[in-house]
Chain A
Amino acid sequence: MNRDNLMLILLFLCIIILSFINNIAFLFGYFLSITVFFLIIRGRVGTLISGILRVLPFLVVLSFAFYISSLLSKGHPYRYLVILNLRVFDMVLSLMFFREFANPLRALSFSSTLTYIFILSYSQIKTFTELYYDFSLVMRSRMVLDTSYKDRILFLRKMAGYFFKKAIARAEDTAMAMKARGFFLYD
């Protein structure tokens, strides 16, 4: 058990506690303390804003729809809305707090198998994402902008097929490389 494992467990505890408490003062206090922490102690306004922005559109739509629907049914939506929104922000900010301080890969490594799964997947996701963005650039640089539907489908097929083939080849090669380096030799 390392420091990052502990932080992950702490994060889960916080989120579970947050999900049981419907007290506005508590939820608001939690929100305030994390915000202050980000603003003053870490000076990370950007992180804070990006975290909030990520859920904001969804929350705005949801809250607005709920507000209208409860007006129509003559309900009192305010308490409901405040708690719902605060809780979402609290949870998102807790996660950001965790990501700010812990290395997620190490945090998830509760067993060596898990560690290898996450590292292999994460690094391959990174490679594939980079390839994908290069692919999109290729599309822009090699094809006329206003392409026909058929062309776009063909390009998609090429791209999806390429990643498909690459995924298999890489899995086979990785298995060989792991074997060569003694991964499957248990004592």
Chain B
Amino acid sequence: MIELSHIDFYFDKRPVLLDISFNIEEGEKAVLLGPNGSGKSTLLKLIAGLLFPKRGKYLFNGKEISKKRLKDKKFERAFRKDVQLMFQEPDIMLFNPSVYEEISYGPLRFGMDNIKERVLKVADFWGINGLLKRPVYLLSGGEKAKVALASLLVMEPRLLLLDEPTAYLDMKSTKSLCKLLKKERFTTLVAMHDVHIARYFGERFIVLSKEHRIVFDGPFDRFKESSLFEEFGFFKEESEACLKGGPYER
């Protein structure tokens, strides 16, 4: 579904992503790991067609995503509907008067049908039906994150990009998110820090180094055995204990 080949990205003159190449197939659930400042958020914005690489190619369903391609409004419309990104700071994605209007914003913009039912369904899932009439700017951090997630999920995207979605969520909501991602068909790429939670967000781990390069791409079990694991501040014994409990399986 997405193919990145040899992507370099710079902010002014400072490199933020170097020689990034990987593919993600339709339906795959992948996790993006990396230390602070390694470029995870930037990579997600790039995949969402909001930033453009200096070098390299990014194909989405076989079509290159470039500034020029997105000038074609019809193409942009289809692309933006399919790809939904949750920003690291959910606050900034919310700009409508009330929670209801916030969630129904996308469906209205992209001309979907049965808007009310869709909104009520996601709101119900996230337990925010009580908030529907409230203004978004008065919500707590976690509530804002749920509204942001709801407004992405209501779009039924094909590719869902989440930037540290669990940062503001309580444990219970984190678990529902895990369950939801497991159940749904769409492709996901989730940037995370905690491997123990990340483990339940996807089997495939893509790991960025602080030098902004990909240093690992493969299943969790292999990542756990690699020398990188401890370099990233995780301990095998600790993680085995954590995994045995398997709080997310339940």
Do the two chains bind? yes
Chain A 106-128 near chain B by CB (<8 Å), digits 1 or 0: 10010000011001101100110
Query: How far is B48's CA from A177's CA once the two chains are assembled, in angstroms?
Result: 10
Q: Are A180 and B95 in contact (CB under 8 A)?
A: no
CB contact between A115 and one of B45, B94, B97 (< 8 Å): that residue: B97
Q: A115-B97, A123-B137, A126-B137 are in contact. Are A182 and B81 (CB under 8 A)?
A: yes
Residues of A within 8 A of B45 (CB): 176
Partner-contacting stretch, out of B55-63, B84-92, B192-200: B84-92
Q: Are B106 and A181 in contact (CB under 8 A)?
A: yes
- Assess whether A173 is interfacial by the CB under 8 Å rule: yes
Residues of A within 8 A of B189 (CB): none
Residues of B within 8 A of A170 (CB): 89, 92
Residues of A within 8 A of B50 (CB): 176, 179-180
Q: Are B80 and A105 in contact (CB under 8 A)?
A: no
- Assess whether B136 is interfacial by the CB under 8 Å rule: yes
- Assess whether A33 is interfacial by the CB under 8 Å rule: no
Majority-rule SS of A interface residues: helix
Query: How far is B100's CA from A29's CA once the two chains are assembled, in angstroms?
Result: 42
Q: Are A177 and B93 in contact (CB under 8 A)?
A: yes
- Assess whether A19 is interfacial by the CB under 8 Å rule: no
Q: A105-B97, A115-B97 are in contact. Are A173 and B81 (CB under 8 A)?
A: no
- Give chain B interface residues in 74-127, CB to chain A under 8 Å: 76-77, 80-81, 83-85, 87, 89, 91-97, 105-106, 109-110
- Give chain A interface residues in 25-47, CB to chain B under 8 Å: none
Residues of B within 8 A of A116 (CB): 95
Q: A126-B137, A181-B105, A185-B109 are in contact. Are A119 and B77 (CB under 8 A)?
A: no
Q: Are B77 and A182 in contact (CB under 8 A)?
A: yes
A interface residues, tally (CB under 8 Å): 25
- Assess whether A178 is interfacial by the CB under 8 Å rule: yes
Residues of B within 8 A of A106 (CB): 97
Q: Are B109 and A182 in contact (CB under 8 A)?
A: yes
- Give chain A interface residues in 121-174, CB to chain B under 8 Å: 122-123, 126-127, 170, 173-174
Residues of A within 8 A of B95 (CB): 116, 119-120, 123, 174, 177-178
Q: Are B97 and A123 in contact (CB under 8 A)?
A: no
Query: How far is B87's CA from A176's CA once the two chains are assembled, in angstroms?
Result: 10
CB contact between B92 and one of A126, A177, A186 (< 8 Å): that residue: A177
Residues of B within 8 A of A115 (CB): 97
- Assess whether B73 is interfacial by the CB under 8 Å rule: yes
Q: Tell me how far the C-beta of B103 lies from the nearest C-beta in chain A, rounded to whole angstroms.
A: 11
Query: How far is B83's CA from A119's CA once the two chains are assembled, in angstroms?
Result: 25
Q: Are B97 and A174 in contact (CB under 8 A)?
A: no
Q: Are B94 and A123 in contact (CB under 8 A)?
A: yes
Residues of A within 8 A of B151 (CB): 181
Most interface-central of A109, A115, A180 (chain B CB within 10 A) = A180
Residues of B within 8 A of A182 (CB): 77, 80-81, 106, 109-110
Closest B residue, CB atoms, query A106: B97
- Assess whether B35 is interfacial by the CB under 8 Å rule: no
Q: Are A185 and B76 in contact (CB under 8 A)?
A: yes
Q: Are B91 and A181 in contact (CB under 8 A)?
A: no
Q: Are A180 and B92 in contact (CB under 8 A)?
A: no
Q: Are A122 and B137 in contact (CB under 8 A)?
A: yes
Q: Tell me how far the C-beta of B95 lies from the nearest C-beta in chain A, rounded to whole angstroms.
A: 5
- Assess whether B135 is interfacial by the CB under 8 Å rule: yes
Query: How far is B92's CA from A186's CA once the two chains are assembled, in angstroms?
Result: 21
Beyond contacts A119-B95, A170-B92, A178-B95: 10 other A-B pairs, Cβ-Cβ < 8 A, are A123-B91, A123-B94, A177-B85, A177-B87, A180-B83, A182-B77, A182-B81, A185-B76, A185-B77, A185-B80
Query: Which 4 pairs across A and B sit closest by C-beta, in order of nearness?
Result: A123-B137, A182-B109, A177-B93, A176-B50
Binding site for B on A (CB under 8 A): 103, 105-106, 109, 115-116, 119-120, 122-123, 126-127, 170, 173-174, 176-183, 185-186
